[in-house]
Structure 1
Amino acid sequence: MNVQDKVVVVTGAGRGLGRGIAKMFASKGAKVACVDLNQADLDETVAQCKAAGGDGKSYTANVAKEEDVVKLFNDVVADFGALHGVVNNAGITRDGLLVKAKDGEISTMSLQQWQAVIDVNLTGVFLCGREAAAHMIRLGVEEGVIVNISSLARQGSFGQSNYSAAKSGVAALAEVWAKELARYNIRTGAVAPGTINTDMLAAMKPEARDRLISAVPLKRLGEPENIGMTVLFIFENDYFTGRCIDLDGGLR
């Protein structure tokens, strides 16, 4: 797919990976529907998309809420008259050990910690993928693309039972959807980032950040634009579907 003038929804576009992905698509002339909860962040992303040479429009929605997602995709199609792709990037973390024993006291990951991450990172991807596919089929697109942002954590990450389960799940969804949606000319894929230079990493203590970087064979962090390039590859390569690309500087 040539993304010039194509309508692409990017969730979690307010900052970090989502902003990098949105800007990458805008630089190729796409019309980007930027989705997040914080309007100020979205305004900045839209401004950067337009500065990059594309078009952008902001939408506030909680991807974990079905009514928000249904309205989101209805609004995008009403505004642009088309829909060609979605990048399911929105995600949160609520880290904690499954069980921790210290000084005779046992603590556990709460159901709230588990459910919050599953709701956004997995159910949100399901809802956005479902609505995007339904609209693309209804519109009769010649080609549609759905990309889920997974994580290297899908292989199992210490202290992240919830996050690892969700990110493994979204990679699996890309494979399932590739088989189900090919008949409608919709391709799918997933990207699993490793250690990427986002606001969350910037806020870490320097020594902790240095330890993360030293573990990467390339000895540097990835940038949000690197993820954007990989997502764009999936959109542009019309024989790619149903697979997950690890982009981790060789970390795995």
Structure 2
Amino acid sequence: MELQNSVVVVTGGAQGLGRAMAESLADAGANIALLDMQEDAVSQAAEELRAKGIDAQGFALNVTDEDAVVATFDKIVAHFGKLNGLINCAGIMRDGMLLKVKDGKVVDKMSKQQFQSVLDVNVTGTFLCGREAAAKMIETDSKGVIINISSVSRAGNMGQTNYSASKAAVATMTVSWGRELARFGIRAACIAPGLVDTAMARQMRPEMLDKFLSTVPLRRLAQVEEMGHAAKYIFENDYFTGRVLELDGGVRV
């Protein structure tokens, strides 16, 4: 797909991974709609992207709110006139053990709220935005690409029952969408990063970070610019669909 003058939505686009992907696409000439819960931050990010000579608009949105998602995609198409892409970057982590046991007794459990909150954002939010993006692409006769963000943790990871489940679901949704939407000229793809050098990663305890990096053959975190490059590749390669691009530094799980 030609990125010049295309229109791409990026959720979680005010900072971190989403912002880096938006920057990469804007550098290639794409117009960008940034979606994020932080109204001031998303407006500022959009203003900075406009300095690249493209049209960028920021929209405050909770991706778990169905009515708000529908209304926001209506606003995006009303402004830009079409839609060619979506990157579902919005996501959260609420790590914890399924059970905590001391002296043979269960002293704590992962709560339903801790489990459900992650699925609400990572799975339901991805579903709602993907559904509305696909609908707008069809309605405006705009061929397009949907990129979901999974994780190396989709294979299962200790202390991440909720997060791993959500990222496995995102990967399988991508395969389903790739098969369903191809007839409309819409591709669906997924990027599964390892740990990326973002504010979230920098909050890890040094010993935990060192332990993780010892499992990575390249012995470093992924850079957000590398994630942006991966997204650009998927957009520009018209034969990539229904597949997960692993970008994890060589980790095998």
TM-score over 0.5 for the alignment? yes
Match of 2:214 in 1: 214
Match of 1:120 in 2: 121
Contact 1:27–1:53 under 8 Å retained in 2: no
Match of 1:130 in 2: 131
Q: Distance in 1 between matches of 2:47 and 2:202?
A: 23
Match of 2:225 in 1: 225
Does 1:182 pair with 2:143? no
Greater shift in the superposed pair: 129-138 or 198-207? 198-207
Residue type of the alignment partner of 2:115: W
* Aligned-pair CA distance for 1:32: 0.6
Contact 2:99–2:106 under 8 Å retained in 1: no
* 1:151-182: CA deviation from partner (whole Å, max 9, x where unpaired): 11101011111111111011101100111111
Q: Distance in 2 between matches of 1:163 and 1:220?
A: 22
* 1:60-106: CA deviation from partner (whole Å, max 9, x where unpaired): 01101101110110010011111011011100111111122113343
* Aligned-pair CA distance for 1:205: 3.1
The runs of 5 or more residues in structure 1 that have no matched partner are: none
Q: TM-score, normalised by structure 2?
A: 0.95
Does 1:62 pair with 2:62? yes
* Aligned-pair CA distance for 1:208: 2.9
Instruction: Decide whether aligned partners of structure 1 residues 215 and 48 sit closer, same or farther in structure 2, where only a CA change above 3 A counts.
Output: farther
Counterparts of 1:81-100 in structure 2, within 5 Å, are 81-100=81-100
Q: Distance in 2 between matches of 1:52 and 1:155?
A: 39
Match of 1:195 in 2: 195
The runs of 5 or more residues in structure 2 that have no matched partner are: none
Match of 1:205 in 2: 205
Does 1:153 pair with 2:153? yes
Contact 2:149–2:190 under 8 Å retained in 1: yes
Q: Distance in 1 between matches of 2:186 and 2:246?
A: 22
Give the share of equivalent positions with the same residue, in percent.
49
Counterparts of 1:2-17 in structure 2, within 5 Å, are 2-17=2-17
Q: Distance in 1 between matches of 2:79 and 2:12?
A: 20
Instruction: Decide whether aligned partners of structure 1 residues 196 and 52 sit closer, same or farther in structure 2, where only a CA change above 3 A counts.
Output: farther
Does 1:235 pair with 2:235? yes
Greater shift in the superposed pair: 44-53 or 155-164? 44-53
RMSD (CA atoms): 1.3
Match of 1:21 in 2: 21
SS in 1 for 2:148: strand
SS in 1 for 2:214: helix
Does 1:43 pair with 2:43? yes
Q: Distance in 1 between matches of 2:52 and 2:251?
A: 31
* Aligned-pair CA distance for 1:52: 4.2
Q: Distance in 1 between matches of 2:226 and 2:54?
A: 19
Contact 1:28–1:53 under 8 Å retained in 2: no
Q: Distance in 2 between matches of 1:251 and 1:50?
A: 37
